[in-house]
Amino acid sequence: MPLSLVILAAGQGKRMHSDLPKVLQPLAGRSLLGHVLAAARALQPDGIHVVYGHGGDQVRAAFPDADLQWALQAEQLGTGHAVAQAMPPIPDDHQVLVLYGDVPLINTDTLRQLIDVAGPEGFALLSVQLDDATGYGRVLRDNAGNVYRIVEEKDANRKEKTVREANTGVLVTQSARLKAWLSNLKNDNAQGEYYLTDVITLAVRDGIKVHAIPAPTVPEVLGVNDRVQLAELEAAYRAMAARRLLLAGVTLADPLRIDVRGEVTAGRDVRLDVNVVLEGSVVLGDRVTVGAGAVLRNVVIGSDTLIHPYSVLDGATVDAGCVIGPYARLRPGSRLLAGAHVGNFVELKSATLGRGSKANHLTYLGDAEIGDRVNVGAGTITCNYDGQNKWPTMIEDDAFIGSGSMLVAPVTVGAGATIGAGSTITKSVPAGGLTLERGRQQTYLAWRRPQKATPTERAQTIARTQLKDETPTAE
């Protein structure tokens, strides 16, 4: 059956104390609404309708996706009113699934189950069992266990408030019926709003059985209204991500100290030390070891690679058997071929380091193509930027670059060439042989280091300088 999704994302989020709309608040490297949209798209619906309101321009700008349809809720008159704004373009024969832009951990498998239970003509809602359901609407059942009503917290009596089965607001039903029920909502309640939950009562009156399906886990149906709840869900996300990695065979030094902010694919016998951060798309080959505090963002790491602590890899590709860090930085466009070594305080940007090549200390390699078995000495810099343009450096196989060398691009160093330490290379270097560029070394034996002056000597020196400055110069 065709499926349309309605995502409510119009809330202001006053308790966030932020200029950023609530649904754009970040969790695990993605906005709250971004998480919901990811779950929604996994269902492959026929349409996604987002109801926006507060900060609408920001929300729409954050998601310029062509597959989204936007519905403005100009006045905040309740959840029923919000859903009604999105319904006109949805065909009557569609199922409609209602989601919330501030409930980021909703699970796609849970939603599939809900859709299946509802069927083409039925009604299903997602509930949750809570030890303390304060603030939530309660799911009320008759003696036979059938759902007949949802009562909001502010409208519930003392007995109803003891019910632990809470409404999550997530529901699915047939479009034509939902449109009819929404048109019959009243706002004669404690908040003067049009409650979406009142459609349950209307459905029961029409003889429609309402199925309430308990959520498998509590975190996946929790919403965010303040910074405390945001932090709690961030911790829940970390715990779920750590569990997935552990079940996939990854060794975590401490599952409580790992941050996963994207999608991770890991091979066998991968080991991650404490406080590792994984962002975006991260692919780790077999037997990869990542040291404490390392940050990996949108990378592919080959098997048997060792990443030492506090290294940052962003948009890099690393082949098998490489050694990186500690405190190394691989920026976008960097690639290490098999067996390459990048050591402490070495930075690569749009650079390739060939097989078995090494840059082990205090080096910057930008816009460079470096061949196999090259040794790049400490303190080497490829001077790739002239203030307006970036220029390439080519270093061919088996070259040796002495420490403290400046390679002023565009420049090529031929195969097997050796650059003497401290050289500034401004012209291409032929293959083989030794190339040096140094000024003449001189020694002044009579020179002495300045000694610390007394206050009197400082005053005298300053006075002489001033007198010299004031003496007229002969024309």
Q: What is the pLDDT of residues 175-199, one digit of tens each?
A: 999 999 999 999 988 888 999 999 9
Which of 198, 221, 244 corresponds to the end of one domain?
221
Residue 246: pLDDT above 70?
yes
Check pLDDT > 60 for residue 90.
Answer: yes
Residue 407 lies in a domain: yes
Query: Within this chain, do residues 244 and 139 fall inside the same structural domain, yes or no?
Result: no
Query: With 60 as the cut, is the pLDDT of residue 311 above it?
Result: yes
189 and 248 belong to one structural domain = no
Residues of the chain with pLDDT > 90, as a percent, come to 83
Predicted pLDDT of residue 469: 64
Residues 113 and 50 in one domain: yes
pLDDT in tens, 101-159: 999 999 999 999 999 999 988 999 999 999 998 888 999 999 988 999 999 888 999 99
Across all residues in the chain, what is the average pLDDT? Answer: 93
Q: Which of 54, 81, 308, 361 is catalytic?
A: 361
Let me know whether 272 and 346 are in one domain: yes
Same domain, 153 and 238: no
Residues 209 and 239 in one domain: no
Q: DSSP E strands: which ranges in 175-246?
A: 210-214
What pLDDT score was predicted for residue 470? Answer: 61
Question: Do 257 and 214 share a structural domain?
Answer: no
Confidence of residue 67 (pLDDT cuts 50, 70, 90): confident
Domain annotation covers residue 243: yes
Q: What CATH number did the domain enclosing 55 receive?
A: 3.90.550.10
Would 456 be classed as within a structural domain? no
Q: Would you give the end-to-end CA distance of the chain in angstroms?
A: 100
Active site residue 361: yes
Do 291 and 267 share a domain, yes or no?
yes
Range of the domain at 105: 3-221
Gap between the Cα atoms of 221 and 218, Å rounded: 6
Same domain, yes or no: 127 and 240: no
Whether residue 467 is contained in a domain is answered as no
The least confident of 41-55, 285-299, 320-334 is 41-55
Residue 472 has pLDDT above 90, yes or no: no
Question: Within 13 A of 106's CA, how many CA atoms are on the CB side?
Answer: 35
Alpha carbons within 13 angstroms on the beta-carbon side of residue 343 total 13
Residue 469 lies in a domain: no
Q: Which of 203, 221, 239 is the last residue of a domain?
A: 221
Same domain, 163 and 187: yes
Q: Please give the average per-residue pLDDT across 401-406, as a whole number.
A: 97
Within a domain: 445: no
Mean pLDDT of 444-462: 86
Residue 356 has pLDDT above 80, yes or no: yes
Rounded to an integer, what distance in angstroms lies between the CA atom of residue 35 and that of residue 48?
Answer: 14
What average pLDDT does range 13-22 have in this prediction? 89
Q: Which residues of 10-29 are buried (b: 16+ CB within 10 A; e: fewer)?
A: bbebeebeeeebbbbbebbb
Quote the DSSP letter at residue 232.
H
CATH of the domain at 299: 2.160.10.10
The pLDDT tens digits of the residues spanning 114-123 come to 999 999 889 9
**Long-range pairs for 471-475 at CB < 8 Å and ≥24 separation?**
none
- CA 354 to chain centroid: 30
Q: Which residues contact 256 (CB under 8 A, 6 or more apart)?
A: 238, 239, 242
In a domain, 468, yes or no: no
| 366 located within any domain | yes
CB atoms within 10 A of CB 44: 7
Domain count across the chain: 2
Same domain, yes or no, for 38 and 181? yes
Q: Report CA dihedral (183, 189, 190, 192) to the nearest 10 degrees.
A: 40
Query: What pTM does this model have?
Result: 0.84
| Banded model confidence at residue 471, pLDDT cuts 50, 70, 90 | low
Can you give the pLDDT at residue 57? Answer: 87
Per-residue pLDDT at 1: 83
Do 280 and 354 lie in one domain? The reply is yes
The residue among 221, 247, 264 that closes a domain is 221
